[in-house]
Structure formats: structure tokens, C-alpha cells
């Protein structure tokens, strides 16, 4: 594992503007999201615990919580948790996961980040797990600033996907996506347009400058996990693929099997923590 800290770097996966209807971004993906979006690794959780001195006190605000990839592993470090997401099915699955893990200090709300208010109370930490780029970042960050305790932190998490072509098997995925969905990166019913980096956006809010911290983790993916992950995304969900999904999956499985007969695919995943304090 390699760990680096720095103030600034370019990330092609951060800060996208969206064309089209934002409401359909993750429509129909929740079950795939819950099963195939991996929880953040121990290295990321430990970094947050150490950086913000998390000790079981105070509150966590998890914005764009999905099916719980951030608040579930962080639950034991907070007295209270509020988790929100715009997708009803995501919230339902996250709630069931919390029940199964006996996490009873969490409140889950189906709502947009722009709707946050002081009614939720004050928090020690606000997290955005691969969600910050889907919202009005300046508006939301300034709203979150008012909801944080003095010295509290805001954290945007990001990680390299499996569509960046850094390995031979990822290059196959990129070619398949272009073949079946066209050259422009999809986002639900719209397309991606690269915007400002998260740290650049935060610099325009009351938080000011942000710290960017990378952790590289070696991971192994199976063919099923690769396909399940793609179905969990805004750019290659079954909703985006439509009636092409079955043929797309069959061809991708065949091409991956030719590349790696044991069905195991290795990748160094870069997890990035962009954070700032009040």
C-alpha cells in the first residue's frame, strides 16, 4: 500500500456536470449497488478515524449515502447518524442493512442534499461517498458548514472506477462501453461533462482550502463483480443499456474469459479523501 498526502492534483473522476434528468441517474441500480459496490477499505476508515479523532462521540451526516457504504463501517465511531439519499430504494436497502447490523443510532431520510436544514441538528463530520459530484456542491457545502460543530470536517470520497483503461481488462470494458453506448460517458439519461475538482469547489466555499489524500489498495475482481459493478453505475446500468443489456453482458463475459481463464482480475484502486475543516 502506498499513502500520499498533497494539497492539489487533477482527478478526471471528480467534479462532473450532468446533462439530462438527474432523477434517473441510478434508477433500478440499488440492488446491484448494495451487492457490488464494495465497502470502503480499512485503510480509508482508519484514515478518517485518525484525522478527525473519531471516538464514539458526536454525529455523522452521510450525504448521498447510497446503500450505506460509508455510514455502516463508521457507525461505531458516532453517537448519532443521519444518512440521506435521493433514491427511495437505496434508502430502503440501507435501512435494512442497519437493522441487520443492529445499528440503531441512525436516521435515514429520502431527500436531496440541497434540502438539508438545521432541523437535523449539528454534526462532527459530514461525508460524501462518491456522491459530491452529483449535487450543487457550493450550495450544499455552505449548507453543511452551518451544520458542523466548530472544528468539524467535510469529506468527499472518490475512487478509480473500472472504466479508466489502466489495465488490459479495463481497456476491454472501455471499448465495450463505447461500442454499445457511444463515445460519450453516460450519466443516466444524460452525459458527463467534466467540471471542477472537489478541492477547487470547496475553495469557493467557507471551508476554503482542502487536503487531498490518496491510498492505493490492491484488489481482485471476478467477472460477476465487474458486471455487477457496471450495472450499479449511472453510465452502464440496465436502464441505460436497455434491451441491449443481455447481449452486452454476454459479449463482455466472453471477451474477459479469453483474457483471463481463471476469471480473476487484478487492479490497484486509488481511494481519494478530499477534506476540509470548519
> The C-alpha cell of 165 is what?
483503461
pLDDT in tens, 61-110: 999 999 999 999 999 999 999 999 999 999 999 999 999 999 999 999 99
Structurally, at CATH architecture level, domain 2-162+195-220+269-277 sits in 3-Layer(aba) Sandwich (3.40)
Distances, alpha carbon 108 to alpha carbons 18, 63, 96, 132, 204, in Å: 26, 10, 11, 18, 29
pLDDT in tens, 209-260: 999 999 999 999 999 999 999 999 988 899 889 999 999 999 999 999 999 8
DSSP labels, 148-161: EEEEEEEEEEEE--
Q: In the chain, where are the structural domains located?
A: 2-162+195-220+269-277
**CB-CB contact of 78 with 105 (8 Å):** yes
Between 264 and 235, the more confident residue is: 264
DSSP labels, 235-272: SS-HHHHGGGHHHHHHHHHHHHHHH-TT-EEEEEEEEE
Question: Biggest alpha carbon distance in the chain?
Answer: 55
Q: What is the mean pLDDT of residues 130-153?
A: 94
The number of angstroms, rounded, from the C-alpha of 247 to the middle of its chain's C-alpha atoms is 28
255-257-263 Cα angle (round to 5): 135
pLDDT for res 185: 56
- Helices 223-231 and 245-259, axial angle in degrees (round to 10): 150
Prediction pTM value? 0.87
- Helices 223-231 and 168-181, axial angle in degrees (round to 10): 40
How much of the chain, in percent, has pLDDT values that exceed 70? Answer: 86
pLDDT in tens, 190-215: 444 556 889 999 999 999 999 999 99
Between 19 and 244, the more confident residue is: 244
Q: How confident is the model at residue 25 (pLDDT cuts 50, 70, 90)?
A: low
- Which segment of 14-23, 66-75, 108-117, 122-131 scores lowest on mean pLDDT? 14-23
101 class by beta-carbon count within 10 Å (0-12 exposed, 13-18 middle, 19+ buried): middle
- On the question of pLDDT at 23 being above 60, the answer is no
- Helices 245-259 and 168-181, axial angle in degrees (round to 10): 160
pLDDT for res 161: 79
DSSP state at residue 100: H
H or E segment to which residue 168 belongs: helix 168-181
Q: To the nearest whole number, what is the mean pLDDT of the chain?
A: 87
Q: How confident is the model at residue 169 (pLDDT cuts 50, 70, 90)?
A: very high
- CA-nearest of 5, 17, 271 to 138 is 17
Residues in the chain: 278
Q: How confident is the model at residue 162 (pLDDT cuts 50, 70, 90)?
A: confident
Up-side HSE of residue 275: CA atoms within 13 Å toward CB? 21
pLDDT for res 183: 76
Amino acid at each position: 500500500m502506498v499513502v500520499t498526502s498533497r494539497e492539489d492534483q487533477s482527478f478526471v473522476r471528480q467534479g462532473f456536470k450532468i446533462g439530462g434528468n438527474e432523477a434517473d441517474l441510478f434508477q433500478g441500480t440499488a440492488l446491484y449497488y448494495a451487492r457490488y459496490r464494495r465497502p470502503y477499505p480499512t485503510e480509508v476508515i482508519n484514515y478518517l478515524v485518525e484525522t478527525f479523532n473519531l471516538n464514539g462521540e458526536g454525529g455523522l451526516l452521510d450525504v448521498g449515502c447510497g446503500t450505506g457504504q460509508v455510514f455502516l463501517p463508521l457507525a461505531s465511531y458516532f453517537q448519532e447518524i443521519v444518512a440521506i439519499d435521493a433514491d427511495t430504494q437505496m434508502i430502503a436497502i440501507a435501512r435494512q442493512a442497519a437493522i441487520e447490523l443492529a445499528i440503531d443510532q441512525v436516521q435515514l431520510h429520502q431527500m436531496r442534499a440541497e434540502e438539508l436544514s438545521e432541523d437535523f441538528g449539528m454534526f462532527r463530520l459530514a461525508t460524501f461517498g462518491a456522491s459530491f459530484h452529483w449535487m450543487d456542491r457550493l450550495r450544499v457545502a455552505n449548507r453543511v458548514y452551518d451544520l458542523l460543530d466548530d472544528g468539524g470536517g467535510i469529506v468527499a470520497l472518490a475512487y478509480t472506477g473500472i472504466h479508466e483503461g489502466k489495465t488490459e481488462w479495463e481497456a476491454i470494458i472501455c471499448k465495450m462501453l463505447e461500442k454499445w453506448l457511444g463515445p460519450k460517458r453516460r450519466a443516466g439519461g444524460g452525459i458527463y461533462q467534466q467540471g471542477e475538482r472537489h478541492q477547487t469547489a470547496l475553495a469557493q466555499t467557507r471551508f476554503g482550502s482542502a487536503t487531498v489524500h490518496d491510498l492505493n489498495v490492491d484488489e481482485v475482481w471476478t467477472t460477476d463483480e465487474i458486471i455487477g459493478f457496471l450495472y450499479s453505475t449511472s453510465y452502464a446500468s440496465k436502464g441505460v443499456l436497455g434491451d441491449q443489456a443481455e447481449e452486452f453482458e454476454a459479449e463482455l463475459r466472453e471477451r474477459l474469459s479469453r483474457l483471463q481463464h481463471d476469471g480473476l482480475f487484478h487492479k490497484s484502486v486509488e481511494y481519494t479523501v478530499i477534506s476540509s475543516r470548519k
